[in-house]
Chains A and B, each alone.
Chain A
Amino acid sequence: GENVGLHLPTLSVQEGDNSIINCAYSNSASDYFIWYKQESGKGPQFIIDIRSNMDKRQGQRVTVLLNKTVKHLSLQIAATQPGDSAVYFCAMGGSQGNLIFGKGTKLSVKP
């Protein structure tokens, strides 16, 4: 079936370091991938997305990498700040046109 797996449920980094959060997916037909950030007590917030015809996309301090060969998606956050502490979800487009979410990685930033 369609699913999105997670490599690590938690990640702790030092302030100023780069963070890398990984996801693996099962459906090679999916053409859309997206990362969300969820702060405590709030709804998920869009960070960045990428379509399957791209390998890399950059935003402000964030980069998403897509490796279709091994069905792997990653989110890189440069110069991680305390405000980046949150749960990060990857999601992919499903066959019904919906989004299928991973279980999330909790990022903690140490000052």
Chain B
Amino acid sequence: NAGVTQTPKFRVLKTGQSMTLLCAQDMNHEYMYWYRQDPGMGLRLIHYSVGEGTTAKGEVPDGYNVSRLKKQNFLLGLESAAPSQTSVYFCASSYPWGYEQYFGPGTRLTVT
């Protein structure tokens, strides 16, 4: 099993550009999450999904949108990138709440 995979691994955007980060998991997990990690800030939850076709806001949702059209995929979109969105983005998946979350390798995004 590949576990949780993320595409792309690195990306540089100019302010105002848009992009989509793709997360895929092959563990048949119901729940999926998008986090951002900034220096000295730990991981902060952006959006999450408790099942196919559902999404919900996390701690820092502004400037991001998500979609969960298939159970195994969770997409994170930036419609108009800003320098404040420069960060490392991690996707995770899990069984229902309280269970271990499995993380992907991360996407390093730089917005200039």
- The CA-CA distance from A31 to B97 in the complex, in Å, is 11
A43 touching B106 by the CB < 8 A rule? Answer: yes
Interface size on A, as a range, is 20 to 34
In angstroms, how far is the closest chain A Cβ from the Cβ of B37? Answer: 9
Interface size on B, as a range, is 20 to 34
Chain A residues closer than 8 Å to B4, beta-carbon distance:
43
- CB contact list, A84-111 vs B, under 8 A: 89, 91, 93, 96-99, 101-104
- The CA-CA distance from A91 to B98 in the complex, in Å, is 11
Apart from A4-B42, A99-B45, list 7 A-B contacts with CB within 8 A: A31-B98, A43-B105, A96-B58, A97-B97, A98-B33, A98-B45, A98-B48
Closest to B41 in A: A103
B103 touching A89 by the CB < 8 A rule? Answer: no
- The CA-CA distance from A89 to B43 in the complex, in Å, is 9
| Chain A residues in the interface with B (C-beta under 8 A) | 4, 9, 31-32, 34, 36, 41-46, 49, 51, 89, 91, 93, 96-99, 101-104
- The CA-CA distance from A93 to B105 in the complex, in Å, is 22
